[in-house]
Amino acid sequence: MTIHKLRRFVGTIAALVDEAPRESELIEHGLEALRDLVREDDWLPDAYAVPSPERYQQYLLYADARQRFSVVSFVWGPGQQTPVHDHTVWGLIGVLRGAEYAQPYVRDAAGALHAHGAEVRLRRGDVEAVSPAIGDIHRVRNAYDDQVSISIHVYGANIGAVRRSTYPHDAPPKPFISGYSNDFLPNLWDLSKEPAAS
Ligand code: FE
């Protein structure tokens, strides 16, 4: 198990955000880096892969010092799903283990939310993006009711602290702040225990 892939990924995203490109470019290049990160499931520390029978887990892997971005390990227990929700910032999703279904929602002319098209199945290694500009509201669920799935998410803010909304059926939007499931962070920075990253 080695953390250097995550450390390198964080550096890539930080460099990208430093360049302050247009959001579409940031998403394109961010997705390339994320696709690379989730290509092999050999780097996520076990402590960030632990499901809870209560609800899906959101473990913070990294938060930028200036809260320009964050990286989260999203761990689905069997059959778990999110409510319909938004993000309010750009977000990148890459499936590391198992698979998930994402159902996008759009507003009609009267402002009512509707499921848009069919659920999209994201398999191991697949990536996708959300943002207010390209579609920000969805519901996501584990594709399996008998195994854990894990996806790695990157957001354009410290997502655990962002005020956003869930959208209950036939009820007004409900404000929420997701927080994080972990009370500690991985040690990304001790370089003494592994060979130098290639
Ligand atoms: Fe989401």
The H or E element that residue 30 is part of is helix 23-38
User: CB within 8 A of 12, min separation 6: which ones?
Assistant: 33
Give residue 187 CA to ligand 1 midpoint distance, Å: 26
Give residue 60 CA to ligand 1 midpoint distance, Å: 15
Q: Whole-angstrom Cα distance, residue 43 to residue 29?
A: 21
Give residue 138 CA to ligand 1 midpoint distance, Å: 6
The pLDDT, as a whole number, for residue 160 is 95
The pLDDT, as a whole number, for residue 195 is 64
Give residue 195 CA to ligand 1 midpoint distance, Å: 35
Domains, the chain: 4-182 (2.60.120.10)
Class of residue 167 by CB neighbours under 10 A (exposed 0-12, middle 13-18, buried 19+): middle
The pLDDT, as a whole number, for residue 2 is 79
Beta strands in 112-177 (DSSP E): 113-115, 120-123, 127-130, 137-142, 149-155, 164-166, 174-176
Cα 22 to the center of its chain, rounded Å = 20
Percent helix, strand and coil across the chain, each to the nearest 5: 20, 30, 45
Give residue 27 CA to ligand 1 midpoint distance, Å: 15
The pLDDT, as a whole number, for residue 182 is 87
Q: What is the pLDDT along the chain (198 residues), one digit of tens a residue?
A: 578 999 999 999 999 999 999 999 999 999 999 999 999 999 999 999 999 999 999 999 999 999 999 999 999 999 999 999 999 999 999 999 999 999 999 988 888 899 999 999 999 999 999 999 999 999 999 999 999 999 999 999 999 999 999 999 888 999 999 999 987 777 777 777 666 655
**Whole-structure pTM value:** 0.93
The pLDDT, as a whole number, for residue 187 is 74
